[in-house]
Structure 1
């Protein structure tokens, strides 16, 4: 219930400040997590970015005011944070499909986005395989790109980046440069993904395709960037075995469930630190994937 109270408290704060400047860091404090991780969690749970949610709510209220009063368009624009009538009109038309002036006409069809409310959902019919592990500090090196989360662009761009790295030989060069491969049973992992290791601005996050350097002693080629990861406690989620063609589907399905199903009842909170996608493969078309997230025990 504590998690629900925090998330609904954050939504209440947003609703009470839709006509003011909303600092994401203030919203995140109510939810007791960092600004960056709150935005990530919000997007995974609601399928919409925090910025887009606030934009929709403001334009929903703006439409109601235009229909119910003789208020000037410029006054509504300024009230909901738009610096000019032109900017407001563009945003209004993109959401509602009509101009603010036309929205006053009787019978005009508009869109309404009500406030989000978080509640307990009865799930759990499909198990989630996870474990809590502690790891010493390690390094990770590879190629980086800053991902845009607007409209789920990251879900499309990340698989594209992997395809490009396979095609241009980057993956092969990374495999050659890694000091050693990780082995679990008969599965090995070569090239993996790491993200959220630094802040890059609202609605974006850094993503790197690379390899582990567990001892931090590798001779890293100049073309690759290096990340130092501190000692952390991690929750590790594992997919079922799957075909290579199912990697994207399986890893994205895990991500969608972590924040909405596991965290609310786990007794853990997201800690400051990067997130990992680790890919294991064996002979034949046998694969499984893992998501690694740094965690801390919730304070009573």
Structure 2
């Protein structure tokens, strides 16, 4: 019998309990992965939070009932886990672009994909711009100083945060060119519409993170084993590299994620977002 990846197990569990009151904690407990890593897996590979995925799958099932049954919309709403027909209608319109009543009247039967089909450019990126077999290393703890900001699945604010960091770089870090980007998923905030806000730390190595100027924050990255991947080329494709790591490599690797934060290391200055000579080291924590 084929062994399911952690993401496949998560999706299977969701499908089997779709009509129950489940959330990220339930999915994490079932798969054995932490709240942190399950958030990373879903947001990286499927491009959405666990909550939004569950909500969208329930809405798709509801759309089939609207088309293929004559049940009342209110009953379908309650069966789909919504507290009222109004809340169901708002969520349905947000996904399908029409109210449940109009959808039923028009006889539409739309499909909402859980994961988009892999495009040729994705295959090219995996083949040419990623070190597909990572280097396994042990790191002692690393202290960094820098700035914190927020980004989300639907609104990537990282370019603006990097611009802000670069404006402070010379004053506080001099000629230091090694930069760190840490996605602090353990501090993720889930919005009402199912999006996820992530805390991000951008910084440089520092000897002391206790006494810093007010505009800077300090952080210590935990020691341990890491699988190190190299991403080359435009930073717009970083999400594709993460999709490969969490969606392809992890499911086949004989390694287990550890409950520490992953991070990126920029060993040379990034002069342009789309510079083909960009190179980023991605450190994935493993046990």
TM-score range, shorter chain: 0.7 to 0.9
Structure 1 residue 30: deviation in Å?
2.7
Query: Does residue 211 in structure 1 map to residue 204 in structure 2?
Result: yes
Aligned to 1:81: 81
Change (3 A) 1:33 1:198: same
Query: Does residue 112 in structure 1 map to residue 103 in structure 2?
Result: no
Aligned to 2:150: 146
Distance 1:192 1:7 in 2: 27
Distance 2:231 2:179 in 1: 17
Change (3 A) 1:291 1:6: closer
Kept in 1, the 8 Å contact 2:45–2:242? The answer is no
Distance 2:94 2:266 in 1: 40
Compare CA radii of gyration and give the structure with the larger one: 1
Aligned to 1:288: 279
Change (3 A) 1:22 1:225: same
Kept in 1, the 8 Å contact 2:210–2:218? The answer is no
Q: Summarize the alignment of residues 79-228 of structure 1 with structure 2, pairs less than 5 Å apart.
A: 79-105=79-105, 107-113=106-112, 125-126=127-128, 127-128=131-132, 130-149=134-153, 151=154, 153=155, 156-166=156-166, 169-176=167-174, 181=176, 189-196=177-184, 198-202=186-190, 203-213=196-206, 215-216=207-208, 219-228=211-220
Distance 1:290 1:207 in 2: 17
Distance 1:174 1:21 in 2: 49
Structure 1 stretches of 4+ with a deviation exceeding 6 A read: none
Q: Deviations over 1:35-82 (max 9, x none)?
A: 221121123222343222212211111122223333222222222222
Aligned to 2:118: none
Task: Report the secondary structure of 1:76's partner residue.
Answer: helix
Task: Report the secondary structure of 1:4's partner residue.
Answer: coil
Aligned to 1:230: 222
Aligned to 1:257: 244
Structure 1 residue 194: deviation in Å?
1.2
Task: Report the secondary structure of 2:25's partner residue.
Answer: helix
Change (3 A) 1:3 1:147: farther
Change (3 A) 1:115 1:292: closer
- Of the three residues 234, 255, 258, the one matched with 1:271 is 258
Distance 1:60 1:287 in 2: 40
Kept in 2, the 8 Å contact 1:197–1:275? The answer is no
Distance 1:265 1:79 in 2: 37
Kept in 2, the 8 Å contact 1:137–1:231? The answer is yes
Q: Deviations over 1:245-284 (max 9, x none)?
A: x3x13544422321122212221122111121111227x9
Distance 1:251 1:93 in 2: 32
The unaligned stretches of length 5 or more in structure 2 are: 116-122, 191-195
